[in-house]
């Protein structure tokens, strides 16, 4: 349930529930007080319109009865001597919180309420003081009685009077107000408790859980989950928390992994730099100490120093390039490249170097001569060089062979670079594109490398919108495959 709906329900509950319960309490307490008064005065009240202090309201309630008695007195006064008829009139009066008194001369002839009549009989108005208006009468304030009088003459000539005595009561007494006040206070307290419990359960409890979860996040615990199926703000907040938690967990794990890899990189680079530096120091000391005492030996020492310095320069350049690729700062310069021409040039460039290392290069192109791709030539050439450099590094055959094949994949081209080296174990094949991963755990210094060459290759291929994978068999060789989408002029013109 949405907060907006909950607020609307709360608003209506705060208004309507106390009003309805107060109305019920008013009717219940009023009924109890009226019944208590009825028992005290021996009457019966059935009309709740009498529950007020207005004398007019009580007076109007007996207008019809007064008119009926007055007409009977004028037309057939003998009817007023019939006690059965009088009993019927009294029954009608009882419904109006009233009763009948009939006086004959100075004596009580009939009454519908003997105990009540005894208290007021001596104070009833004298004969001849009647008023023919139904809304007129005598009000006894101390007794809270309204009396209406109709005079008539008995058949024996005696003077008689019929009195309609109405009890003027009010449920709005002091006790009633006190009871109503206590009832309203109780109603408000109960309403507040119900609403507070509801709001606490639906709002504060979930927020407290979220607060606890945020504390767990602050403590570095990213495994504290919050689940909610509610389609409201709390449910949405929980889902947003879960998204944040998962992102933070992933980011933290990635950060820790990067820190681990950076430490490994420093360790690898330190190890790989230490080897050529140690060699350079040794050969320099040999020259200084006069060990290289012939021109041939001195020339050999200097060439070795030069080679080791180149190894150091290569490692430093690789580290610099890795820093750029890790921060997404590779300066790409995308161009439309003719696939056949570009890879033919690459094959020619690397062919000379491979020939000097007794490695045979085979190049085959099975794509259309006009096929083009969008690529950065320099970065794509780095991909080729890194892959071939890796093949050379792990070549264990006396006669090495490297094949470069270009295949047509309808909307893409696929490049395969295969060697007949020692291959890669199946357990390591899925990890070769990870940064700093090296299958040569012993770190043979003759192979060198920091383990980031293929991760750089993967990054460049993916930045070109392609993908790369590897297949290999131990002892037989390894094949690197990567796919790049073709550039289609017709699609651009359309």
Q: Which of 303, 311, 302 is nearest to 276 (CA)?
A: 311
Q: Which pLDDT value is given to residue 5?
A: 64
Read off the tokens for 72. Answer: 């009977």
Share of the chain above pLDDT 70, in %: 79
Contacts 24+ apart (CB under 8 A), 212-220: 213/241, 213/245, 214/241, 217/244, 217/245, 217/248, 220/252
Beta bridge partners of 159: 153
Q: What is the mean pLDDT of residues 212-240?
A: 79
| CATH topology classification for 46-167 | Beta-Lactamase (3.30.450)
pLDDT band for position 256 (cuts 50, 70, 90)? confident
343: Cβ–Cβ under 8 A, 6 or more apart, which residues?
363, 365, 384, 404, 406, 415
Question: Is-contact 148 164, C-beta < 8 A?
Answer: yes
pLDDT over 80 at 235, yes or no: no
Highest mean pLDDT among 13-27, 164-178, 232-246, 413-427: 413-427
Cα 44 from Cα 363, distance rounded (Å): 118
361: Cβ–Cβ under 8 A, 6 or more apart, which residues?
347, 350, 351, 354, 355, 402, 403, 404
CA atoms within 13 A on the CB side of 327: 7
Average pLDDT, the chain: 80
Beta bridge partners of 335: 375
The tens digit of pLDDT for each residue in 369-408 reads: 999 999 999 999 999 998 998 898 888 888 899 999 999 9
The tens digit of pLDDT for each residue in 276-306 reads: 888 889 889 888 888 888 888 888 889 889 8
**Residue labelled with tokens 């009195």:** 163
More confident site: 407 or 59? 407
CA atoms within 13 A on the CB side of 304: 19
324: Cβ–Cβ under 8 A, 6 or more apart, which residues?
330
Cα 406 from Cα 363, distance rounded (Å): 8
Q: Which pLDDT value is given to residue 444?
A: 46
Q: What is the mean pLDDT of residues 220-234?
A: 76
Q: Which pLDDT value is given to residue 216?
A: 83
All CATH 3.30.450 domain ranges of the chain, comma separated, are 46-167
pLDDT over 50 at 55, yes or no: yes
Helix boundaries (H) for 51-134? 55-61, 63-75, 83-94, 114-120
Torsion of CA 467, 473, 476, 477, to 10 degrees: 20
Q: What is the mean pLDDT of residues 39-63?
A: 54
Question: Is-contact 362 417, C-beta < 8 A?
Answer: no
Q: Is 227 exposed, middle or buried (0-12, 13-18, 19+ CB in 10 A)?
A: exposed
Q: Is 21 exposed, middle or buried (0-12, 13-18, 19+ CB in 10 A)?
A: middle
End-to-end CA distance of the chain: 51
Least reliable range by pLDDT among 29-38, 163-172, 283-292:
29-38
Question: Is-contact 36 217, C-beta < 8 A?
Answer: no
Q: What is the mean pLDDT of residues 71-85?
A: 87
Q: What is the mean pLDDT of residues 458-477?
A: 92
Phi-psi region of 428 (alpha: psi -120 to 50; beta: other; left: phi over 0): alpha
Q: Which pLDDT value is given to residue 46?
A: 41
Q: Which pLDDT value is given to residue 33?
A: 58
Beta bridge partners of 468: 482
Read off the tokens for 374. Answer: 């969008």
More confident site: 233 or 4? 233
The tens digit of pLDDT for each residue in 93-132 reads: 888 888 999 999 889 999 988 888 888 898 898 888 877 7
The tens digit of pLDDT for each residue in 432-463 reads: 888 667 665 544 444 555 567 888 899 899 99
All CATH 3.30.565.10 domain ranges of the chain, comma separated, are 335-493
pLDDT band for position 9 (cuts 50, 70, 90)? low
More confident site: 7 or 246? 246
Q: What is the mean pLDDT of residues 44-58?
A: 50
Q: What is 335-493's CATH number?
A: 3.30.565.10
Q: Which pLDDT value is given to residue 53?
A: 44
Cα 81 from Cα 110, distance rounded (Å): 9
Q: Which pLDDT value is given to residue 67?
A: 87
Share of the chain above pLDDT 90, in %: 19
Cα 308 from Cα 316, distance rounded (Å): 12
pLDDT over 80 at 169, yes or no: no
Q: Which pLDDT value is given to residue 326?
A: 65
**Residue labelled with tokens 């550039």:** 487
The answer to whether the pTM exceeds 0.85 is no
How many Å separate Cα 430 from the centre of its chain? 39
pLDDT band for position 52 (cuts 50, 70, 90)? very low
Q: Which pLDDT value is given to residue 47?
A: 47
């Amino acid at each position: 349930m949405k907060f907006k709906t909950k607020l609307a329900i709360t608003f209506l509950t705060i208004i309507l529930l106390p009003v309805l319960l107060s109305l019920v309490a008013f009717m219940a307490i009023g009924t109890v007080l009226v019944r208590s008064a009825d028992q005290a005065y021996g009457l019966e009240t059935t009309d709740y319109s009498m529950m007020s202090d207005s004398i007019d309201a009580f007076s109007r309630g007996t207008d019809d009865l007064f008119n009926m008695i007055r007409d009977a007195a004028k037309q057939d006064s003998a009817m007023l001597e019939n006690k059965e008829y009088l009993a019927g009139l009294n029954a009608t009066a009882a419904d109006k919180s009233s009763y009948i008194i009939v006086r004959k001369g100075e004596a009580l002839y009939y009454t519908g309420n003997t105990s009540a009549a005894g208290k007021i009989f001596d104070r009833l108005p004298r004969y001849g003081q009647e008023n023919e208006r139904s809304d007129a009468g005598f009000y006894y304030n101390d007794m809270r009685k309204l009396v209406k009088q109709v005079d008539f003459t008995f058949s024996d000539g005696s003077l008689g009077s019929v009195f309609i005595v109405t009890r003027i009561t009010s449920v709005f007494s002091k006790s009633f107000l006190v009871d109503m006040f206590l009832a309203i206070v109780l109603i408000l307290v109960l309403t507040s408790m119900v609403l507070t419990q509801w709001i606490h359960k639906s709002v504060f409890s979930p927020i407290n859980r979220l607060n606890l979860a945020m504390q767990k996040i602050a403590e570095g615990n990213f495994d504290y989950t919050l689940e909610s199926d509610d389609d409201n703000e709390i449910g949405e907040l929980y889902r947003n928390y879960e998204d944040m938690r998962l992102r933070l967990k992933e980011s933290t794990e990635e950060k820790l992994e990067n820190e681990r890899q950076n430490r490994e990189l420093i360790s690898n680079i330190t190890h790989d730099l230490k080897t050529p530096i140690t060699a350079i120091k040794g050969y320099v000391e040999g020259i200084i100490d006069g060990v290289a005492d012939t021109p041939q030996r001195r020339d050999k020492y200097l060439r070795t120093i030069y080679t080791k310095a180149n190894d150091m320069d290569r490692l430093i350049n690789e580290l610099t390039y890795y820093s750029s690729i890790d921060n997404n700062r590779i300066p790409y310069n995308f161009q439309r490249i003719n696939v056949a021409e570009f890879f033919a040039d690459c094959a020619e460039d690397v062919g000379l170097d491979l020939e000097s290392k007794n490695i045979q290069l085979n190049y085959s192109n099975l794509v259309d001569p006009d096929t083009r791709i969008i690529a950065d030539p320099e970065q794509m050439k780095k991909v080729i060089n890194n892959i071939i450099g890796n093949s050379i590094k792990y070549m264990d055959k006396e006669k090495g062979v490297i094949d470069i094949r270009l295949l047509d994949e309808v909307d893409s081209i696929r490049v395969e670079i295969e060697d007949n080296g020692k291959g890669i174990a199946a357990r390591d094949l899925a990890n070769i594109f990870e940064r700093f991963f090296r299958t040569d755990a012993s770190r043979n210094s003759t192979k060198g490398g920091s383990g980031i060459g293929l991760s750089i290759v993967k990054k460049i291929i993916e930045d070109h919108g392609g993908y790369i994978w590897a297949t290999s068999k131990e002892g037989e060789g390894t094949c690197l495959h990567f796919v790049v989408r073709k550039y289609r002029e017709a699609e651009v013109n359309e």
